[in-house]
Amino acid sequence: MKGLFGRLKQPAASRDGDEYPDSVLFSTAFADQGVDPSMLVPWEARANEVGAKRLSAPRAIKLLQGLWARDKYMSRLPTDSVSQLEQFFDFATVPANRDIVRQDEYGNFMIVLLTGSIAVDRVQPWGERLRLTETRPGDILGEMSLLDSGKRFSVCSSLTECDIAVLSAQSLDEMVGVDPALAANLVALLARKLSLRLRMISARLTDKKN
């Protein structure tokens, strides 16, 4: 982890000089772990599959700023830094009853729920779908695979029409090159929120077994 943040904090090249250095820290992670590229489900493919429609970026960023301003962790990102995310995120509206993320697939994007509600279920080996949570605007989903290049832990389905912000591994790599300080702060906050959510899920699963 120390090496990761060391790379993220490296200064970017000057805007008036050389081009920004290329980063492949996140976009090549699946290949580095031996995952066949054909097994990877990028956002572009999933967006087409679920019938997602493009959402106005200025409106989406305004929603994101308002939601993260009230979040214990994400509020640590300055408002002007959140506005810079517009160049790295994709924004979309997804119809109700669509699987945005599927359990056990390889995906290289995360989503931030801006409006609506998404169900997070864990499919048990015997086929039962265990409802882990129903998300609220501001919640982040899919960041685990984005950060560790592992399989998706759960299936995330839209319960209503949802507006979402999407960050792909390629865009995160671009952020590392263009604004390494922003990338480092974002990854650190995502890791903290992910740790908290996994602890809550672990406690819930433990309670159900007892």
How much is the pLDDT for 147?
A: 81
pLDDT at residue 18, as a whole number: 45
Domain boundary assignment for the chain:
39-56+88-177
**Per-residue pLDDT at 35 exceeds 80:** no
28 pLDDT above the threshold of 60: yes
H, E, C per residue of the chain: CHHHHHHHCCCCCCCCCCCCCCCCCCCCHHHHCCCCHHHEECHHHHHHHHCCEECCHHHHHHHHHHHHHCCCCHHHCCHHHHHHHHHCCEEEEECCCCEEECCCCEECEEEEEEECCEEEEEECCCCCEEEEEECCCCCEECHHHHHHCCCCCCEEEECCCEEEEEEEHHHHHHHHHHCHHHHHHHHHHHHHHHHHHHHHHHHHHHHHHC
Say if residue 207's pLDDT is above 60. yes
If you average pLDDT over residues 165-191, what whole number do you get? 91
Provide the pLDDT for residue 203: 75
pTM of the model: 0.81
Query: What is the tens place of the pLDDT at every residue in 129-172?
Result: 889 889 999 999 988 888 887 889 899 999 999 999 999 989 99
pLDDT in tens, 81-117: 899 999 999 999 999 999 999 999 998 899 999 999 9
Q: Right CATH number for 39-56+88-177 from 3.40.50.1360, 2.60.120.10, 3.30.70.660, 3.60.130.10?
A: 2.60.120.10
Residue 16 in this model has a pLDDT that exceeds 60: no
Tens of pLDDT, residue by residue over 42-82, are: 999 999 999 999 999 999 999 999 999 998 889 888 888 89
Q: Who wins on pLDDT, 16 or 100?
A: 100
